[in-house]
Structure 1
Amino acid sequence: MAFPKADNIIIIGGSLAGLMHALTCLTHTEAKVTILERSPNALLHNQGAGVVAGAETQKFFTKYVDARREIAVRSLERLYLDRDGGVVEGSVDRREQRMTSWDVLYRLLRWRVDGMGAGEYFEGGEGGGEQEGSGNRVKDHVRFGQARYEYGCSVDAVKDCGEKGVDVEWKDRDGGTRTTTADFVIAADGASSHVRRQLLPDVQRSYAGYVAFRGTVPESAISEAATAAFVEKFAFFHTTGIQILAYTIPGENGSLRPGHRLVNWVWYCNYEDGSQELEELMTDSEGKRHAVTLPVGGMREEVWSKQKRYADEVLPPQFAEVVKKTTQPFVQAITDNLSKEDVFSDGRLVMVGDAVAGFRPHTAASTSQAAFDALMLAEWIEGRIDRDEYRSRCLGYAKEVQTHGVALGERSQFGRHPFAT
């Protein structure tokens, strides 16, 4: 089935997946594109999270964003440390990867999609721009600021209206209820998707039994030993019930200059569901219990002090150092979700990205999933594939990577990794 004629497209969710799909729609259709973002802020807060720029992400940004600037730090090798901080024999893999940050990708996408200025954000004022002679269709087709980005919008319901399209009802930031009928709807509202809960109530987001502590440290603030382990490298440490990793990402204002970048780390620790330790960890300094993400600034000082002491007890000294030098940590409970369907309303509504499948972070593929889904949508719109092929490819990718992520996580946290010490 061909892509439906669409003059009015609504995208639910304004993070990376929503923005990528908005840019795809702007490039390949003449539709009016509206993004409904739940956050009450016009600009989503950066969590300081590093992102591995996988093949799909790189392909999408090369094809659609067409930025003048490099977006990633090159990691030249993967390696594993032992408890004393030495490199595990046989663990070095000289495979190059590219590491970026959520903030860099978000800022560039906002610049492309709705014209939010990026020049004042990026170091040197080089937010992006057209490359002469690029031959990229984006250059000729997409006008800056073409999409409408509405924040503070909480979607209450979607309703199939047959050939008329899909009704979307939401509360705006002033508390008023609004309804519109869209020709095509994209649900990019994350792993806790409200749209998915309405359409597939049996698909639940489930806790996997462990959390990820996350943080960043300025490259200039770490020791020579930590620099040797983490700068332009992808380093890991495994032991029973623990995995920690680190790599270099762009720094403040997207800086890629040596000495101005950040070391991003992720530390997985097991916490039994319902345990007192998990409750204490996920309860912030004001007494609010967070279900999935304890945000930057929310961790109680006594909890963080305890975790830093634990770092000295169990981690290699380079990893303990970056943990202890982190001033703005945050925590994510690791969860699973996987949908068996992503196309609804006779092809007039699709779910994408984390709304379809929440990958465990070990795959480093959540951003790649958003990019893959957006690239497949472009093929459907352009008629290179039909609706059934779009569904098959997107669901196939989601199931394969989600299953792989569960296997990686279970081995890491509840089994034994080959390079564990």
Structure 2
Amino acid sequence: MTRDSSTRDIPTPEQPYRGARALVIGGSIGGLTTALLLRDVGFEVDVYERTATPLHGRGSGIVLQPDTLRWFEERSGLDAAALKTSTERVQYLDRENRIITEEERRWEYTSWGTFYRALLSDFGTEHYHLGAYASGFDDDGDSVTVRFADGRVETADLVVFADGINSPSRAHFDADAEPTYSGYVGWRGTVPLRELSAPTRRLMSDAITYSVVPNSHITLYPIPGEEGVGADDQLMNYVWYRNVPAGPDLTELLTGKNAFVGAVSLHPGQVQDRFVRELRETAAALLAPAAAEVVLATAEPYLQVVLDVRSRRMAQGRTALVGDAACSARPHAAAGTAKAAADAWALHDALLESDGDIARALEAWEPAQLELSQALLSRVTEMGDRSQFHNTWVPGDPSLRFGLYGPGILYPEHIRAQHRQPQATAS
């Protein structure tokens, strides 16, 4: 944002927080969306990311729901079409690659890296700080002081914590909110579409594809590649949920080749070879052949531990929690990034409506976001349990559709009637 220096500190109705400063702790997708929207209402914003090197998403796919994409559709000069792929169907395959059930339903996708780089391009790097671990903070009612592990101290009028599922700041809001293990992990990977067989490309390139097996399922869909969104550049992305008991079995699985145990993930190239061999053997034996082909073709599959956590508070004084720092929900509704963006947009609106009173804005913002977190977490917990433990994940069941606000519901209640796209309701 460029503003004339003679007027940059004078609040306006559109930017009532000119002259105020905000810090965003956490520089991932949720943090950058929050920072852009805070800057949009006038704050001078600095983002502090604990990782010392530029972030990357290892090619992970993101299902784009409206809240996630909204910045690029309403505020950005970047072309949203250059960030996404799409499919027109949802299908379930059996062990012979036959389509058990299918539904016409359009979805759009991006890759983590593609989306992150676009947000960072809009925010810029001048006020984006790497290697900055926020170790503590104090809120005296008039300002918030954040202490960093390297000795840096920063003071601001508003601080938003978007520092992920292992947020050290969450304990200040809810000391009892700790991540709990779901009982299963997500194996992830990507394969260039051009490297898959022609029959598999024809079957899967225009669909979200599921293969459901006892106590497990895999979801696959095409995402942008590093070179763009064209058919020759796209990647087939997947996540395969597999049960692993807590304790020694999980610890051994998460012990990387470097002898370090991953807390929430194990990066590509770090999964022990014997576990990768077992993954491929099981894929060939159980999954639909097209899904198995993708898994078998993955050079370096990696792992994410499926965890649940929800803070009972998201706001206090001049500080707020957003995204996974406040509530990390299992991925089955494809709503993690959408929830972080929804938190940010709702905060943006509350700040505009509060006549410059930050504490009052946060107090007004919190209840609806807590309610949304609880509803999402309850729903995806039930979805995961149906797949992994009860074997009641039924192909084509409408209650299993993606959606932040409910199965197949992509918009909040007060604006849902304005949208008539097929995927906007669960009907």
Tell me the amino acid that sits aligned with residue 73 of structure 1.
T
Unpaired stretches in structure 2, ≥5 consecutive residues: 1-15, 355-359, 397-427
Q: 1:76-99: CA deviations, max 9, x gaps?
A: 0000011222110xx211010101
CA distance in 2, matches of 1:107, 1:312: 36
- Matches of 2:69 and 2:257, distance apart in 1: 39
Contact 1:297 1:329 in 2 (8 A): yes
Which of 115, 120, 134 is equivalent to 1:105? 115
Q: What residue identity is the alignment partner of 2:246? A: D
Give the letter for the 2:338 counterpart. S
8 Å contact 2:135–2:147 — kept in the other structure? yes
User: Within 2, Cα distance between the matches of 1:78 and 1:6?
Assistant: 49
Pair 4,396 (structure 1): closer, same or farther in 2 beyond 3 Å = farther
1:270 to 2:243 alignment: yes
1:16-415 equivalences under 5 Å are 16-29=29-42, 31-41=43-53, 43-70=54-81, 71-88=83-100, 91-115=101-125, 148-163=127-142, 165-171=143-149, 176-253=150-227, 255-276=228-249, 278-344=250-316, 346=317, 348-383=318-353, 386-415=361-390
Q: CA deviation at 1:156?
A: 0.9
Give the structure-1-normalised TM-score: 0.85
Rounded to whole Å, the distance in 2 between the matches of 1:361 and 1:229 is: 24
Shift of 1:182: 1.4
Secondary structure in 2 matching 1:65: coil
Give 3-state SS (helix, strand or coil) of 1:76's partner. Answer: strand
Tell me how far 1:5 sits from its aligned partner. Answer: 8.2
C-alpha distance in 2 between matches for 1:68 and 1:224? 31
1-structure distance, mates of 2:229, 2:258: 36
Alignment coverage as a number of residue pairs: 374
Structure 2: how far apart are the matches of 1:417 and 1:67?
A: 39
**1:157/1:198 contact within 8 Å kept:** no
Q: Residue in 2 aligned with 1:419?
A: 395
User: 1:33 offset after TM fit, Å?
Assistant: 1.1
Given residue 201 of structure 1, which amino acid in structure 2 is its aligned partner? A
1:157 is paired with a residue of what secondary structure? Answer: strand
User: Secondary structure of the residue that 2:308 maps to in structure 1?
Assistant: strand
Larger relative contact order (Cα-Cα within 8 Å, sequence gap ≥ 6): 1
- Give the corresponding residue for 1:131: none
For the residue of structure 1 that corresponds to 2:152, the secondary structure is strand
How much has 1:339 moved relative to structure 2? 1.2
Aligned residue for 2:23, secondary structure, equals strand
Map Cα deviations across residues 326-377 of structure 1 (whole Å, 9 max, x no partner): 0121100100001111001x2x100000111101011100110111111111
Q: CA deviation at 1:412?
A: 1.1
Contact in 2 for aligned 1:158/1:168 (Cα 8 Å): yes
CA apart distance, 1:69: 4.6
Secondary structure of 1:96's counterpart equals: strand
Contact 1:65-1:108 within 8 A present in 2 as well:
no
- Please give the alpha-carbon distance, in whole angstroms, between the structure 2 residues aligned to 1:389 and 1:284: 45
User: Which of structure 1's runs of 4+ aligned residues deviate more than 2 A?
Assistant: 3-6, 58-61, 384-389
- Partner SS for 1:194: coil
Alignment partners' CA distance in 2, 1:69 and 1:197: 37
* Aligned-partner residue type, residue 292 of structure 1: V
Give distance in 2, aligned partners of 1:324 and 1:366: 27
What is the alpha-carbon root mean square deviation over aligned residues? 1.7
Per-residue deviation, residues 123-170 of structure 1 (Å, max 9, x unmatched): xxxxxxxxxxxxxxxxxxxxxx5xx1111111110112122x111000
Return the offset for 1:232: 2.1
Q: Distance in 2 between matches of 1:354 and 1:328?
A: 26
Would the aligned equivalents of 1:73 and 1:232 in 2 still touch at CA under 8 Å? no
The alignment partner of 2:169 has SS state of helix
**Contact (CA 8 Å) 1:4, 1:184: kept in 2 or not?**
no
Q: Is the 8 A contact 2:186 2:239 kept in 1?
A: yes
Partner AA of 1:20 in structure 2: T
Deviation at 1:310, TM superposition (A): 1.3
Matched to 2:220, the amino acid is A
Residue type matched to 2:103 in 1?
D
**Partners of 2:335 and 2:132 in 1: CA distance:** 27
Deviates more, 1:411-420 or 1:348-357: 411-420
Post-superposition Cα deviations, 1:84-118, rounded to whole Å, max 9, x if no partner, equal 22110xx2110101011111110000000115xxx
Shift of the 337–27 alpha-carbon distance from structure 1 to 2, 3 Å rule, reads same
Paired AA for residue 299 in structure 2: T
Could you tell me whether the CA contact under 8 Å between 1:79 and 1:236 is conserved in 2?
yes
